[in-house]
Amino acid sequence: MPTPKFPVLETERLTLRQLKKSDAPALIALLRDEAVSRWLLNNLERTTLKQEQEYIKAMRKQFLKGQGVHWVICDKAGTPMGGIGIGRWPMDRMHNKTSAGFWLGRAYWGKGYMTEAFSAVLDYAFGTLGLNRVSAGHFQGNIASGRVQQKCGLLYEGTCRRAFLKNGAYIDELMYAIVREDWEKGMK
């Protein structure tokens, strides 16, 4: 079977490309920041180089197996700024849907970068993959993530109470999604 070609996405200010092993040091430097990791599922404050390399390897393998697409978000000079991904396949692919997750290093917040990156990923999911639904969630209190989801056209669908256990506390997850009709309307 031929190796699938990874979808590099270009936006006005960003390039979204496949993660590679050599990205690990730059990504760790951004992830070992409590301001970032507090909003993510895993506690990444003490991520080691080896763990990050293993993660990158796993994400590359997922892509090859058709189980998800994970991009590193770079500026046009090629500097890694964060990550974004869609996946939970093949189960979700049966229903023509996916879920998304994203993060940026703190220095890059508040400049509209994630809205730009996530919009490109949504265009890829609906326009290229032909999916019918993309969902995303965020921890209670993560206002910036909720705003990004709203700005990208996702609608709030409800709250999963005490969905995650993080640092000894249960956290609610606010769920958002966009369906094909919404995305098509936004295209017009």
Ligand X SMILES: CC(C)(COP(=O)(O)OP(=O)(O)OC[C@H]1O[C@@H](n2cnc3c(N)ncnc32)[C@H](O)[C@@H]1OP(=O)(O)O)[C@@H](O)C(=O)NCCC(=O)NCCS
Q: Which residues bind ligand X (CB under 6 A)?
A: 36, 39-40, 102-104, 109-115, 138, 142-145, 147-148
Shortest distance (Å) from residue 160 CB to ligand X? 13
Task: Provide, rounded to whole angstroms, the least separation between the CB of residue 65 and ligand X.
Answer: 25
Name which of 69 and 81 has its Cβ closer to ligand X: 81
Q: Which is nearer to ligand X, 8 or 144 (CB)?
A: 144
Is 143 in contact with 110 (CB distance < 8 Å)? no
Name the pairing type of β-strands 80-87 and 155-166.
unpaired
CB of 112 to ligand X, least distance (A): 4
In the sheet with 97-104, reading across from the earlier edge strand, the strands are 9-10, 14-18, 69-75, 80-87, 97-104, 133-139, 169-179, 155-166
The answer to whether 145 touches 35, Cβ cutoff 8 Å, is no
Q: What's the angle, vertex CA 15, arms to CA 118 and CA 120, rounded to 5?
A: 25
CB contact at 8 A, 52 and 28: yes
Instruction: Record the tokens describing residue 183, joined without a space.
Output: 């995305």
CB of 5 to ligand X, least distance (A): 27
Task: Please enumerate in sequence order all residues whose Cβ is within 8 A of that of 186, keeping only pairs 6 or more positions apart, or say none.
Answer: 153
Rank residues 53 and 83 by Cβ distance to ligand X and give the closer one: 83
The nearer residue to ligand X, 131 or 146, going by C-beta atoms, is: 146
Min dist CB 55 to ligand X, Å, is: 16
Instruction: Show the beta-strand stretches assigned E in 44-167.
Output: 69-75, 80-87, 97-104, 133-139, 155-166
Closer by beta carbon to ligand X, 41 or else 64: 41
